[in-house]
Amino acid sequence: MTKFFPQGRAVVYLLGALLLPTLACAADDPTVRMDALEAAAKSAQSAGDNAWMLTSAALVLLMTGPGLALFYGGLVRKKNILATMMQSFTMMAVITVLWAIVGYSLAFGEGSPFLGDLRYLFLNGVGAAPNADYAGTIPQQTFMVYQLMFAIITPALITGAFAERMKFSAMMLFMILWTLVVYFPMAHMVWGKGGFLNAFSGGAVPSFDFAGGTVVHITSGVSALVCALYMGKRVGYPESSTAPHSLVLSFIGACLLWVGWFGFNAGSALAASGLASSAFVATHFAAATAALGWMFAEWIKNGKPSVLGGISGAVAGLVAITPASGFVKPMPALLIGFVAGLVCYFMVAVLKHKLGYDDTLDAFGVHGAGGTLGALLTGVFATNAVNDALKDASGKPAALGLVDGHAAQIVNQAIGVAIAWGLAIVGTFLILKIVDATIGLRVTKEEEIEGLDLVLHGEEGYTMES
């Protein structure tokens, strides 16, 4: 997420060509006319960019509610559907408040290379004026609220690991602490001004993460694994575990995720630009081949491709393309997706069962593994033919990834990945210990058997009475 200078330079020239005849009849002074022209072009550009970015923000929120809520909800048992959806929904509420008060500042205030400062506490100074460090053509408020949607969905993803067994109060406390300790620093390092890993802001380790492969998927996926291992398996897992209670809901959720992801990735161009188009295409292509990859793997292993496999594959591809989306061409995107489909299938359907941990909804297998894969492949396929925002010492577009002749980028990517893993593991472990020691993490065995909808929320998802 960086400042990209408009490929919409074309817009300026086009508008100039259209407006020039009109203005020629008006004031005679060419300087005045040029100024008016530039202002009009900027205004048109801003309008287009802001419209797209507000739409993208809405699309990303849709990914959480109801996208993720349904995707996860359909996969759990009927007695836990509401509690599972409530976990995503609560993030929409709680993280918003945290972001408004201090989160945006800690992530995007300049501060140190590792964490922002408090200049934007209570969103001080965040209004209609653009913040040129991040997105020079849209109100800073738009940028802030767009980023908020990422902060919402990241902790929501983790809930997949401990579905069907975590206390609601413990979950809320965990998520607040996790967002503070893991998400804000990681977001700052990768996207914040002066961030340690921010290639576009002079970071010491210049890594590329267009829309959050490390910030969102690796942190949440790896944290999910830590949670699954620390909290332990569900009662009766795996012998008496049950199939998804409604793949219909999961299907709907997955499709909402796919469409919403256009806001997630293409919106990370922070403008209605050619780069946004490129990211949109790469995102879609990766989802398609990943779905096919997972389905083919199942077809070969089980004799039948499944619907759950198809939608899981698509999500895996979307995860993997996330860091790469604004850096790679369409054909590599097809490849990245296909590989992600195969790799995540293996992680979820083979390795998890072999190792025996209960990552209930495969948050690690899809997001942790997919994000790691995507972040590394970004180092391979990133090219300045797609994204020329990074300049070298002589002011020309810098070579990005291996395909540009800069294989060393893979090392930078690996460092970013390692930091994400490390922060997630250490941060999550500490927070789990704290929450467990204070209010306890899991519901009792009896409560788990009865079902969280009744126990935690006093409700039933589906009642017999009509």
Which residues of this protein are in contact with another protein, per CB under 8 A?
238, 241-244, 298, 302, 304, 306, 308-309, 312, 348-350, 352-353, 362
CB 455 within 8 A of CB 86: no
Nearer to another protein, 67 or 365 (CB): 365
CB of 449 to another protein, least distance (A): 19
293: its two tokens: 């990859």
C-alpha dist (Å) from residue 448 to 72, 224, 233, 240, 443 = 17, 19, 11, 13, 6
What is the length of the chain? 466
Query: 268: closest CA among 353, 383, 185, 149?
Result: 149
CB 428 within 8 A of CB 182: yes
CB of 239 to another protein, least distance (A): 11
CB 371 within 8 A of CB 168: no
Nearer to another protein, 16 or 244 (CB): 244
Nearer to another protein, 175 or 344 (CB): 344
CB of 93 to another protein, least distance (A): 30
Question: Omega of the bond prior to 238 within 30 degrees of 0, cis?
Answer: yes
Nearer to another protein, 226 or 316 (CB): 316
Nearer to another protein, 113 or 309 (CB): 309
CB of 316 to another protein, least distance (A): 11
Nearer to another protein, 7 or 360 (CB): 360
- Vertex 348, ends 313 and 299: CA angle to 5°? 55
Nearer to another protein, 243 or 437 (CB): 243
CB of 308 to another protein, least distance (A): 6
User: Helix, strand, or coil here: 343?
Assistant: helix
User: What is the residue-wise DSSP string for 394-447?
Assistant: TSSBPP-SGGGT-TTHHHHHHHHHHHHHHHHHHHHHHHHHHHHHHT-SBPPHHH
CB of 144 to another protein, least distance (A): 37
CB of 302 to another protein, least distance (A): 5
Rounded CA gap, 130 and 138, in Å?
5
User: What is the residue-wise DSSP string for 354-390?
Assistant: HHT---TT-HIIIIIHHHHHHHHHHHHH--TTT---S
Nearer to another protein, 154 or 312 (CB): 312
Q: Residue 463's CB: how many other CB atoms inside 10 A?
A: 7
CB of 448 to another protein, least distance (A): 19
Nearer to another protein, 111 or 160 (CB): 160
Nearer to another protein, 168 or 237 (CB): 237
Nearer to another protein, 237 or 429 (CB): 237
User: Could you tell me the sign of the dihedral formed by the alpha carbons of 328, 332, 334, 338, in that order?
Assistant: negative
CB of 243 to another protein, least distance (A): 5
CB of 286 to another protein, least distance (A): 20
CB of 301 to another protein, least distance (A): 8
Distance of CA 22 to the CA centre of its chain: 45
User: What is the residue-wise DSSP string for 127-177?
Assistant: SSS-BTTTBTTS-HHHHHHHHHHHHHHHHHHHTTTTTTTB-HHHHHHHHHH
Contacts (Cβ under 8 Å, ≥6 apart) of 32:
none
CB 188 within 8 A of CB 151: no
